[in-house]
Amino acid sequence: MRKSIVMKVLGAVMAMSLVFSAVVIADETEAGAEVSYEADVNGDGKIVVGYISKNFTDPFHAPINARAEEYFDQAVEDGIIDEWTGLLDGETDPNKQIDRAADCIAKECDIVIFLPAEAEASDPALVQMADAGILVIEVNSKSASCDEKSIAYVGSDDVQAGNMLAQWVVDNCPDGGKFIHCNGVLGNSAQIQRTEGMHEIMDEHPEFEMVGDFDTKWDGNLAADAASDAISKYGDELVAIICDNDGMSSAAQKMCNDSGREDIICIGVDGVEVPMQMVKDGSLKATILQDGVGQINGAIEIVEALVNGESFDPAPVIPFVLITADNVDDYM
């Protein structure tokens, strides 16, 4: 009994000291300046890296996961790190991500790359890893306490993406008109922020009227149905379809093209294979590329900096890129 209490106290002291050491090693500099940490946080002489994906099914996340797997397999082989967890599937489920975080703690990871599924619901995964002393790098989207608990965030500004969606429509429909908006899963941080960004621009343009705000759940089939419903109802008055991702915008554009309405401007965010190919073919005028591989490469650079004891930028922003026929070849 007494031995158990002593062990618990020792454990608590060790955990606190790990957190404390991470804090004091970090340079006391202002936000935006470079920071550094000791990579081997538990002092076992090994660097173990964890990777909690958002999911394995979304085409946007597939190349991110593939790049991480390729790099960390090679990094173990080259002796840059000692071990890694492999790709842990978050299944777009905060509950599963919290479980995977517990797995990373059990595996005594020093560094974890984490792609949160949800801002609030996935946050406990970050909190429990950070409280266990793990250096967490969030990628692609932020969980609620990202700024306090993670050592870095590599991502893009979804509000900016929303601005770009709307600006493209404004620029390409000079006379204004009716448009619809196809949402991602309601409540998802990317859906919220892209919608916010879209409204920032569109609300400034009274010549445009939003006549539908559909719960299309990132689903191309539902977006295509929303497009055909809107064409059926508004006919020539419909000028644009703004989508939170380009899986939806490409499906909506295909529906418009098949209905003889190639003039309708459809645009979305991500830059996955199909819409990029459609831009190249000319059947889709534009899409917004979210450079997912660029994001994971940013996180990999931070891992390398940690291993080498170097300082790094804790909040590199990977900008969105407007993809049109003029530059699509540069990104395919």
| Residues at the contact surface with another protein, assessed by CB under 8 A | 55-59, 61-63, 65-66, 183, 186, 211-215, 219-221, 224-226, 228-230, 232-233, 247, 250-251, 254-255, 258-259, 272-274, 277-278, 281
Of the candidates 171, 199, 195, the residue with the CA atom closest to the CA atom of residue 184: 195
Indicate the residue among 272 and 296 with the shorter CB distance to another protein: 272
In angstroms, the CA 157 to CA 198 distance is: 13
DSSP 8-state code for residue 89 = P
Spatial strand order in the sheet of 208-214: 208-214, 177-182, 238-243, 265-267
Spatial strand order in the sheet of 135-140: 83-88, 48-52, 111-114, 135-140, 152-155
Indicate the residue among 22 and 210 with the shorter CB distance to another protein: 210
> In this structure, how many other beta carbons lie within 10 angstroms of the beta carbon of residue 258?
12
**Residue 154 DSSP SS3:** strand
Indicate the residue among 237 and 310 with the shorter CB distance to another protein: 237
Indicate the residue among 47 and 198 with the shorter CB distance to another protein: 198
In angstroms, the CA 106 to CA 287 distance is: 42
Q: How far is the CB of 331 from another protein (least distance, A)?
A: 15
Indicate the residue among 17 and 57 with the shorter CB distance to another protein: 57
Question: E strands within the chain?
Answer: 48-52, 83-88, 111-114, 135-140, 152-155, 177-182, 208-214, 238-243, 265-267, 269-270, 287-289, 321-323
Indicate the residue among 80 and 210 with the shorter CB distance to another protein: 210
In angstroms, the CA 67 to CA 154 distance is: 15
Token pair 């009274």 in the structure block, residue? 206
Are 295 and 156 in contact by the 8 Å Cβ rule? The answer is yes
Indicate the residue among 234 and 316 with the shorter CB distance to another protein: 234
Q: How far is the CB of 300 from another protein (least distance, A)?
A: 19
Are 56 and 65 in contact by the 8 Å Cβ rule? The answer is yes
Indicate the residue among 167 and 183 with the shorter CB distance to another protein: 183
Query: 312-330 burial, b if ≥16 CB within 10 A, otherwise e?
Result: bbbebebebbebeeeebee
Q: How far is the CB of 173 from another protein (least distance, A)?
A: 21
Q: How far is the CB of 262 from another protein (least distance, A)?
A: 13
Half-sphere exposure of residue 218: CA atoms within 13 angstroms, side-chain side: 19
Indicate the residue among 61 and 142 with the shorter CB distance to another protein: 61
Q: How far is the CB of 196 from another protein (least distance, A)?
A: 17
